[in-house]
Each structure stands twice: as structure tokens, then as C-alpha cells.
Structure 1
Amino acid sequence: MSSYAGRGVHGQVVRQLGARIVGGDFAEGEILDVRALGAELDVSLTVMRESLKVLAGKGLIDARQKRGTFVRPRAAWNLLDSDVIRWRVETGDGERLMRDLADVRSLVEPGAAHRAAQRRTEADLVALGAALAAMADAHGDTAAEAEADASFHRALLAATGNELLARLDLLLEPGLRERDRLVHARGGADDPVPSHRAVLDAIRDQDAPRAELAMLDLLAKAAEDLGHVSATRADAG
């Protein structure tokens, strides 16, 4: 689901309530007083209802006759939603999120790189090369760096020739974008181009074992960059 950040008054209400739910201000099963929240946020009941529909679509709340609007269990939340991911980071749950993302990537991407080296087409190489070039051109532009990184990993999954693997971008990309935002916003992160180029070179050479090892090296570097962010935050705290 697309982000509602910055979309006028509706976006502001969605963000404020979503962050409060994700951050634990409202307990699981708690009934929300819609009118009182509307008064607190100084918005109309219509705006509240429309905003709550968005949050319901993200799995955070539900409404039942005779019960009202209530907070759903965490197990029902769409943890892959880009807004939910952002709210987790903003409310202090980012470390767990990034640890889980790194774990998933370690299971998926080395194998995907191995398979991509075996099955890649010329079109796949063009897509990977374009993403790498965009990554080099984006140096210092956090948003452009995140977009280029997402494009590279999306192209990598597509290069496996497996439609199911290709759609794992829906699982990985929202978290990957947030990770990139955190790392690149800190400044001083290592140049990501060489590690990604090593993966592309191995895929181009159809050297599956080397592609897998290159991806493992890339993930190790990603973990190191994120570790620097965590250390910086700890020092600041």
C-alpha cells in the first residue's frame, strides 16, 4: 500500500494515529473514541472516518457493530506496508525491524544472485547496469540513492527468471528503502557501488558461486553500515 505521508489533513491524521497505534499508545483491543480523537486533532468526523478507513486497510484497526472501532492484534497488522514500517522506526522499533529485514535478505538474496547468474538475460543485465549507473550518479542524494538501490535489488530478483521470486520485491523493498534512508541520512556511509558491481559482474559472467559470495559480501557491508547508525544513535542517547 502506498504511503499517505504528506497528503493533506487526511495524511496528517493517518500518520498521527498510525504512529500512536504502532508505538503502543493504544493497546491491542482498545476501543477508540472516534469523536474524542477528532476533537483532539481538530478535524471533522468525516476526516476521521476516512482516515480510519486507511488505517483499517493497513490492518491496524477494525470496526464492529455494538463494539465500535478497536485496535487489532499486532499479528493482523500489515508489517510490509511502507507507512507501518516508517512508524515502527519513528516509534523506536526500528532496530528489530532492520534485524528482521537483514535476516530475510540473508535467506533470499544470496540464492537469488546464484540463480540470476544461471538464468539472466541481456535485458536483465541492462536493468542491473542502469540501476548501478543511477546509484553512482545519486551520490549524496538520499532519495535517489534509495531509489537506485531498490531498482538494483528488484532487477536482481527479476533476473532469477522466477515470477514468485521476482514478486518478493513487495516484501523486501519497503524495508530496504527505510534502511537506505537511515544509512544515507547519517552520512559517511561507504560507497555502495563497488559491492553491487561485484554482484553484477559475477551475474554477467554467469558465475553462480561467485555471485552468491558477492551478495553475501554486500549484505555484510550493509549490516556494517547499519551498525554504524545504531552506534551513532546510542552515542547520541
Structure 2
Amino acid sequence: MTSSLHHRAIENLGTRIVSGDLPAGHLMLAEQLEEELQVSRSVIREAVRVLQSLGLVETTKRVGIRVLPASRWNPFDPQVIRWRLAGNARGAQLRSLAELRAAVEPVAAELAAQNAPAPLRLELVDVAYAMREAGNSGDVPRFLELDIHFHSLLLSGSGNEMFANLMGQVAETLTGRTVHGLMPDHPHEAPLQWHVDVAEAISRGDSAAAREASGRIMRRTISQMSDSWTEQPRVFIPVRR
């Protein structure tokens, strides 16, 4: 029960902060949150600790809990990504993630063609063909599961641990696009084939072909989603001097 209340408090406050309902600079007191959320002081303390670790709030003795601006948030945390995808900043979040993936995944595909272990190469091919089957049949939950697995294998296969640690962010992106109706029930045949092309190029060790096919996927993804972020402002992080 305590765990459930703790999760509920984090979700409530995190969603409201990221959506702007609790704007930057807003001050909260622990006793007010206890009453509002109907939870104990210990639950509030733990929830605030988690939100602090994400850069959403800071606490000041005798002042309270202050909401921090978006430039202070941890943009790589899957929870922050999920909250942003559920709110008014969805377009901006999709843009940031698409640009990150476009920069990383083609390079990861190239590295996977050079470095991935043989079992991973074989699994990637199997997953790519299963994705195409699920996409053509309109099995959306199965397609999402396979899509996440495909891109996780791709990042892992690069042999770069920093790329591999983007799996959670990519999973939240793909899940968010599906949950919020931004993915078709029947994906176009071209990107389904490009996933197969990436997998087969990696399987045979053709790094140039793997990078090119992955780049095609990301260019199409950006083209399809760009309307969702046309009017969304970018977040500029101050440079520390």
C-alpha cells in the first residue's frame, strides 16, 4: 500500500509539474501536499526525493519545495519523457527524441555490423521479420513489443555502453507514440522493409548499408512527425561558466 501511495504521489506531482500546472517557481509545503494527496509525511518525503533526483524540484529549509524550470530537468529519465509525452510539450519531446535517435541509431547500426556477437545478429533478423509480419497483420501490441526489442538490440549490439543505456528512452518514445495514436495500425511497407534491411546488413557485417538503412528509418520518422512540433519552442540549457 505504501509503495502504491508513493507511486501515486510521484505521478501526480510529476505530471502536474511537467504539464505546467505547477509552474517553475511555484512553492509547495509538505503539510499542504499531505492534505491534498491524502498521504503521510513519509510518502511525501520519498516522492519529493525522487522528484529532486529528476531535477523537477528543490527543497529549501524554512521555505518549502520549489518547482524548477525545464532547463533543470533530467531529459533522459524515462519518467520525465513519459510525462512530457502525455502533456502539452509532446511535440517538443518527440522532436528532441527523434533528433537524438537520428544522431545515434545509424551510428549504432554501423557499429553493430562491426561488433555485434553472432547470436544478437541472428536475433535481430528474426525480430525484424516478426515486426514486418505483426505490422502487416495490424497487431499493434505485438508490433510495439517487437519494435522496442529491435531498437534495444540495435543499441546493445553497437558495443557502446552509452548507446545501450538509451534503451529506456527509446522504449518510452515508441510506447508514447503508440499510446497517443501517433502510429498507424498498419505501418507502411517501406519502413518495415528498412528494418529488415538494417538487420540483414548487420548480420552480414555491412556497416555502410546498416547505417544507410537506419538513417532512412529516422529520416522518415522525422518527416512523419514534424507537424507535431512546428510551433513548439526549444529548450536552451544555460552554459555553466
TM range (shorter): 0.7 to 0.9
Q: Look up the match of 1:4.
A: none
Does residue 158 of structure 1 match 2:156?
yes
State the distance in 1 between where 2:110 and 2:20 align. 41
User: Which is worse superposed, 161-170 or 106-115?
Assistant: 161-170
TM-score w.r.t. the length of structure 2 is 0.78
Q: 1:107 aligns with which of 100, 103, 109?
A: 103
User: Which is worse superposed, 217-226 or 147-156?
Assistant: 217-226
Does residue 74 of structure 1 match 2:70?
yes
User: Which is worse superposed, 17-26 or 119-128?
Assistant: 119-128
State the distance in 2 between where 1:141 and 1:35 align. 47
TM-score w.r.t. the length of structure 1 is 0.79
Matched residue type, 2:49 = K
State the distance in 1 between where 2:122 and 2:78 align. 28
Matched residue type, 1:148 = L
Residue ranges of structure 2 left out of the alignment (5+ in a row): 231-241
State the distance in 2 between where 1:58 and 1:230 align. 24
Q: 2:61 aligns with which of 65, 70, 77?
A: 65
State the distance in 2 between where 1:41 and 1:186 align. 38
State the distance in 2 between where 1:162 and 1:46 align. 40
Q: 2:123 aligns with which of 124, 127, 131?
A: 127
Q: Look up the match of 2:8.
A: 12
Does residue 207 of structure 1 match 2:206?
yes
Matched residue type, 2:10 = V
Matched residue type, 1:80 = F
State the distance in 2 between where 1:164 and 1:55 align. 24
Identity of aligned residues (%): 32
Q: Is the 8 A contact 1:116 1:161 kept in 2?
A: yes
Greater RCO (Cα-Cα under 8 Å, separation 6 or more)? 2
State the shift of 1:95 in Å: 0.4
Show CA shifts across 1:36-58 (max 9, x none): 23323333333323322232232
| Aligned-CA RMSD value | 2.9
Q: 1:94 aligns with which of 90, 93, 115?
A: 90
User: Which is worse superposed, 119-128 or 141-150?
Assistant: 141-150
State the shift of 1:143 in Å: 4.3
Matched residue type, 2:204 = D
State the shift of 1:209 in Å: 2.0
State the shift of 1:105 in Å: 1.4
State the distance in 2 between where 1:47 and 1:162 align. 38
State the distance in 2 between where 1:186 and 1:229 align. 15
Q: Name the count of aligned residue pairs.
A: 225
Instruction: Give the 3 Å change call, closer, same or farther, for CA 106–166 of structure 1 in structure 2.
Output: same
Does residue 56 of structure 1 match 2:60?
no
State the shift of 1:224 in Å: 4.6
Instruction: Give the 3 Å change call, closer, same or farther, for CA 81–125 of structure 1 in structure 2.
Output: same
- SS of match in other structure, 2:65: strand
Q: Is the 8 A contact 2:113 2:210 kept in 1?
A: yes
Matched residue type, 1:221 = R
Matched residue type, 1:194 = Q
Does residue 193 of structure 1 match 2:189?
no
Q: Look up the match of 2:167.
A: 169
State the shift of 1:225 in Å: 4.6
State the distance in 2 between where 1:45 and 1:127 align. 48
Instruction: Give the 3 Å change call, closer, same or farther, for CA 221–89 of structure 1 in structure 2.
Output: same
State the shift of 1:122 in Å: 1.1
State the distance in 1 between where 2:101 and 2:59 align. 35
Residue ranges of structure 1 left out of the alignment (5+ in a row): 1-6, 232-237
State the shift of 1:22 in Å: 0.9
State the distance in 2 between where 1:188 and 1:13 align. 37
Q: Look up the match of 2:144.
A: 146
